[in-house]
Structure 1
Amino acid sequence: MPDLERLSDAITWIDLSFVERRRTPEWAIQVGIRCHLAGMSLRDESRFIDELGVQRSHVAIHEWVHKADLQPLSTVTADQLAVDEKMIRLHGQEFWLYGAVDPQTNEILHVSLFPTATKQTTRWFLAELHRRYRLDDVVFLVDDADYLGPVLAEDGYRFRILAHGNRNSIERVFCEVERRTSSFANSFSHIELETAQEWLEAFAVYHNSRQT
């Protein structure tokens, strides 16, 4: 059973205005979304809600999560950001995971999935990160990944190549993502990039709620 109590205060900001019909009680939608954030599979969520007296399919629960548009909300508290890129597998498919973590709070600031890793995808990730947080005075902490260092250097960002220390925060996040991808992937017969991205952003919301 997922730890729902720890999420109760952290996700009260979820906007349920997307609910067009009152066929499903709002509390059931909240429970479905909270279970998703805590790592329960969609099919297990459907059975759990059924036990509470509301019959909804795993497809309906996925639609709640999709329409809620869950995204990590945080602020930059330090003058450093740990960033990394990594290939992960979901149901046999390869995706490239990009992430940025505040090493001071261990909160995820931004995550993105791409079907490949190139200088262009790296620039897309960094541009979106900069658009959200205005990182003119931030030093990026990176390892010797193929594209992050070269792109940061070419585009004039401040960065340091660091194997350990504060950069470990992003490594811990990536390890947790990889640990949980198998249970996520087993919920789908085929995974679209958009679906995987939504799950990743929901995971970031859950992760950040546990840092407070």
Structure 2
Amino acid sequence: MSKNARLNGYLDEIDLEFVEREATPRLLMKLSIQLHLAGLSLSNTVSILEIFGVERARSTVHNWVHKAELQPRSGQNPDHVAVDETVIRLNDEQYWLYAAVDPETNDLLYTKLEPTTNRVIAHAFFAELREKHDVEDAVFLIDGSHSLKDACRRHSLDFRYEKHGNRNNVERVFREIKRRTISFSNCFSNAKAETANDWLQSFAFAWNQLI
């Protein structure tokens, strides 16, 4: 599939059913969502809209992204799944980001933001991952986390310890997420964790379309 075809498909998948009465052309709304999730700051995204003669606040674009409720496509059947947990900071508070990545495609399969980390949370993350994707026969790549290993055992999933190799892909995803949350902290200014979690799922959707 060509890059243009993939990007056009990406725009088609952005659902604007939440819009009731909006003066902004829908194509420009979709383009704004796409540009922001692809890496453009809210300020720069607003500047792009101004080129088309449309003036909108940064908060308006942020609300479009939030209300679109984008998330990675379900029903994938990966051979391997790299799972990890990492600390990110939002509003000077510490959260734990859980993420599952298909190392063969670099697709983000599922993300979840939590206020802490423990075995109960890890178990719940795997339960939700199994609901969204067919991972029963996948080999899970775990990097030394006791809670993630325990969750694999409780779910009777095959796993192995791997520090490098295919795990480099999930580390790349985490680096990008951290870069985005640090560089564009205005996305999360005074935002609740639920809003940040929704944004991260939207980011995962965009990541899968653009990698």
TM-score when scaled to structure 1?
A: 0.88
Q: Which deviations, in whole Å up to 9, do the C-alpha atoms of 1:157-178 show, x marking residues without a partner? A: 2211111222222111111111
Q: How does 1:6-45 map to 2 (within 5 A)?
A: 7-45=7-45
Question: 2:27 and 2:180 mapped to 1: Cα distance?
Answer: 26
Is the 1:76–1:102 contact (alpha carbons within 8 Å) kept by the matching residues of 2?
Answer: no
Q: Is the 8 A contact 2:46 2:58 kept in 1?
A: yes
Pair 1:157–1:125, CA change in 2 (3 A): same
Alpha-carbon distance between aligned partners in 1 of 2:181 and 2:22, rounded to the nearest angstrom: 33
Cα separation, 2, equivalents of 1:118 and 1:85:
11
Shift of 1:77: 4.8
Match of 1:189 in 2: 189
Give the aligned length: 209
Distance 1:167 1:33, change over 3 A: same
Looking at structure 2, the residues matched to 37 and 134 of structure 1 have their Cα atoms a distance apart, in angstroms, of: 27
* Change beyond 3 A, Cα 1:188–1:102: closer
The one-letter amino acid of 2:25's match is: P
Distance 2:22 2:90 in 1: 34
Q: Pairwise CA RMSD of aligned residues? A: 2.2
Q: Secondary structure at the match of 2:166?
A: helix
- The secondary structure found in structure 2 opposite 1:95 is strand
Amino acid at match of 1:167: R
Partner Cα distance (2:53, 2:85) in 1: 43
Q: Give 1:121's aligned residue.
A: 121
> Could you tell me how far apart the structure 1 residues matched to 2:187 and 2:102 are?
30
1:100 matched to 2:100: yes
* Residue identity in the other structure for 1:120: V
Residue 110 of structure 1 aligns to which amino acid in structure 2?
Y
Unaligned runs of 5+ in 2: none
After superposition, the Cα gap between the structure-2 partners of 1:151 and 1:188, relative to the gap in structure 1 and judged at 3 Å, is closer
What CA deviation, in whole Å up to 9, does each residue of 1:71-95 have, x standing for no partner? 1126535321111111111232111
User: Which residue number corresponds to residue 64 of structure 2?
Assistant: 64
- Residue in 1 aligned with 2:73? 73
The gaps in structure 1 that reach 5 residues or longer are: none
Give the Cα–Cα distance (whole angstroms) in 2 for the partners of residues 166 and 18 of structure 1.
Answer: 39
Deviations 1:154-198 (A, max 9, x none): 332221111122222211111111122212213443231122112
How far is 1:141 from its partner?
Answer: 0.8
The answer for the alignment partner of 2:198 in structure 1 is 198
> 2: distance between equivalents of 1:91 and 1:124?
25
One-letter amino acid of the structure 1 residue matched with residue 152 of structure 2 = L
SS of the aligned residue for 1:123 comes to helix
Mapped to 2, the partners of 1:73 and 1:161 lie a distance apart of 27
Q: C-alpha distance in 2, partners of 1:196/1:44? A: 20
Instruction: Report the Cα offset of residue 6 of structure 1.
Output: 7.0
Taking every aligned residue pair, what percent have the same amino acid on both sides? 43
Name the one with the larger helix percent. 2
Point out the more displaced range, 98-107 or 86-95. 86-95
SS in 1 for 2:159: strand
Does the 8 Å CA contact 1:7/1:34 hold for their aligned counterparts? no
SS at 1:125 equivalent: helix
**Equivalent runs, 1:76-91 vs 2, <5 Å:** 76-91=76-91
